[in-house]
Structure 1
Amino acid sequence: MLLELAGIEKQVGADTWLYPLDLALRESAVTVLLGATRAGKTSLMRIMAGLDAPTAGQVRVDGQDVTGVPVRRRNIAMVYQQFINYPSMTVADNIASPLRLRGQRDIRARVLEIASTLHIEEFLDRLPAELSGGQQQRVALARALAKDAPLMLLDEPLVNLDYKLREDLREELGVMFSQGRSTVVYATTEPAEALLLGGHTAVLDRGELLQYGPTIDVFRQPNSIRVARAFSDPPMNFLEARADGDALRVRGMDAPLPPGGPAVPPGAVTIGLRAADLSLRDRGEDCRISGQVQLAEISGSATYVHAQTPVGNLVAQVPGVSHHRLGEAITLHFSSRRAYVFGADESLLRAPRTEVHHGAH
């Protein structure tokens, strides 16, 4: 299915929920809608589904205007955070229901295959009410996958699951989506989820579509500070600086301009540094900043060290578990080659030329 949005906007009373946007989704591929809460992701998906009508613009499917066509007349599968299952059916029958409607053979084998991927095969004979919220969410997701609809809309479908299971399912879903025939739209607030799913990503912020393109390209070349902020977790560090010839001058520190890219006019700029590109050890980088530890936050397999420095508060992502005392003196090292440079209008002027980390951190 080729889904196109042309001039779509949504107003509710005096509030603008979606500013005018155009978006042509890649056929039989994944498009991630990435943005914080209230960015407009759910509003956009409801318009795609036919649950809501846009205030202006057209929704086209394979070139045909379907803007006014209700959801019941569209062949789509949806999973929202508020999952819905058939309460009187077993888990197996919930998953099998769309397969029976299609008259598919070997229904039991297909049900078992999907259930195994989502780690719910041991619950097939139970009723949804006997499961936890996270298990019920996976049943709803399994039923959507079984439907194999031309368009699949998934609104933060893993949000109710624990960290480890989310990590596992992200990768497995990415494989399933790449092997399927559905055009998939997947909404998330998490940059790491977008990177794991791949495909294309549309970055939304407060109802505006900021950038759309191949996920890894948007991550490597965010076209503005707003995109860089949305596509970084922990948030990208931003430093106020001045461009002066081939140098960036930051309060008491000079750094060379990262190589490549267009000329950077002299004047005020903003330097962006991902947390993973700041190190507490000297690895031969050309820049260093002294600071004091404000907080050391252990998360999964990394430690986020928050430091107060003369150029502002910075966050460094350190691999493994790293213990630090509050107020401890540290030195943060980084390479100017890893710096993003944004102009006075917050648009991207230069981005790192070398490979970036495969992760949002």
Structure 2
Amino acid sequence: MQLSLEAVSKKVGPQTWLYDMSLAPRSANVTVLLGATQAGKTSLMRIMAGLDVPSSGRVLVDGQDVVGVPVRERNVAMVYQQFINYPSMKVRDNIGSPMKLRGDKNVAQRVQALAEKLHIEMFLDRYPTELSGGQQQRVALARALAKGAPLMLLDEPLVNLDYKLREELREELGALFASGDSTVIYATTEPGEALLLGGYTAVMDAGELLQYGPTAEVFHYPKSLRVARAFSDPPMNLMAATRQAAGAQLADGSVLALNLPATASTALTVGMRASAVRVHGLDGDIALGGRVELAEISGSDTFVHVATSVGNVVAQLTGVHYFDLGAQIQVFVNPVHLYVFDAQGLLLLAPVRAGGH
């Protein structure tokens, strides 16, 4: 199934919830809608599903405009943060109901396989009300996958799960999506989730579609500061700079040797991802001296917040490291890992990836 949105917008009273946007998700692929709360992700998905009608524009399915066609007449599977299950059915019947409606064979075996992938096989003979919220959400996910609809809409489906299970299911879902034929639209606020799922990503902010393309491409080449802010966790480190003949000069007077385009504006913003910042220098690095304001351990990484003369910098270090608060340290970054944006916030320079792209 090919879904296309053409110049779709949504207004509610005097408020604009979605500005004109066009989007054609790749069929049999995952398209991630990435953005903060109130970016417009749910509003867009409701229009895709037929739950809402756009204020302007067209929604095309295989070339046919389906605006106004009710959701019950569309073959769509949906999972939202607020899980919905049939309370009078046991878990195995909840999952198997779409298959039975289609008259599928081997329903019991397929239900068992889906339940195992979502780690709920031990709950198949329970009722949804006997399960925790996270377990019920996985039942709703399994039923949506069992439906095998050509369009699957998932609105932050893992948000109610604990950290460890969320990490496991991200990988499982990525494999399940890749093995199916459905066009999957997956909304999330988490950049890491978008990267794990791969496919394509549409970055949204305040009702606007900022950039759409292959996930790795959008992550490595954000076309604007707004995209870079939305697609960075932790947020990209940003420093004000001015254009110089040799590159970009930071607020402390240090000059970064960068080969900037001739059309670059005078006022610049230099960005570096936290993962590119180190506490031990290498040849060619620039050094920024500062004071440790916070060191936090998250999973297998340590995030060190350093107040420097050019602004606050966060370094993401692999492993567990300890720093004394207030300690004077230096952080290092190689200029090849820097991003540069012009005065309008548009990308001028990005790190060159392996392979020359």
**TM class, shorter-length:** over 0.9
- The amino acid across from 2:216 in the alignment is I
**Offset, 1:285:** 4.0
Aligned to 2:268: 269
CA distance in 2, matches of 1:354, 1:50: 40
Partner deviation per Cα, 1:97-153 (whole Å, 9 max, x = no partner):
000011110001100111011000010000001111000000000000000000000
Aligned to 1:318: 317
Q: TM-score, structure 1 length as denominator? A: 0.96
CA distance in 2, matches of 1:95, 1:284: 57
Aligned to 2:257: 256
Aligned to 1:3: 3
Q: TM-score, structure 2 length as denominator? A: 0.97
Aligned residue pairs, count:
354
Aligned to 1:80: 80
Alignment of 1:319-358 (within 5 A): 319-355=318-354
Aligned to 1:208: 208
CA distance in 1, matches of 2:143, 2:236: 38
RMSD over aligned CA atoms reads 1.2
2:264–2:348: 8 Å Cα contact kept in structure 1? no
CA distance in 1, matches of 2:348, 2:291: 31
**Offset, 1:320:** 1.0
CA distance in 2, matches of 1:32, 1:303: 27
2:292–2:328: 8 Å Cα contact kept in structure 1? yes
Q: Does the alignment pair 1:36 with 2:32?
A: no
Aligned to 2:16: 16
2:265–2:342: 8 Å Cα contact kept in structure 1? no
Partner deviation per Cα, 1:166-205 (whole Å, 9 max, x = no partner):
1111111111111101000000000011011111100000
1:243–1:264: 8 Å Cα contact kept in structure 2? no
CA distance in 1, matches of 2:168, 2:90: 25
Aligned to 2:243: 243
- The amino acid across from 2:257 in the alignment is P
Aligned to 1:138: 138
**Offset, 1:330:** 1.0
2:302–2:319: 8 Å Cα contact kept in structure 1? yes
Alignment of 1:162-311 (within 5 A): 162-250=162-250, 251-257=252-258, 262-263=261-262, 265=264, 267-311=266-310
- The amino acid across from 1:132 in the alignment is S
CA distance in 2, matches of 1:6, 1:118: 35
Q: Percent identity?
A: 62
- The amino acid across from 2:318 in the alignment is P
**Offset, 1:355:** 3.9
2:265–2:343: 8 Å Cα contact kept in structure 1? no
3-state SS of 2:43 partner? helix
3-state SS of 1:158 partner? coil
**Offset, 1:264:** 5.2
CA distance in 2, matches of 1:334, 1:198: 27
1:255–1:286: 8 Å Cα contact kept in structure 2? no
Partner deviation per Cα, 1:327-355 (whole Å, 9 max, x = no partner):
11110100000000101110000100034
CA distance in 2, matches of 1:7, 1:81: 27
2:235–2:273: 8 Å Cα contact kept in structure 1? yes
CA distance in 1, matches of 2:220, 2:353: 10
**Offset, 1:14:** 1.0
Gaps of 5+ in 2: none
- The amino acid across from 1:307 in the alignment is V
3-state SS of 2:211 partner? strand
CA distance in 2, matches of 1:54, 1:219: 29
CA distance in 2, matches of 1:285, 1:187: 40
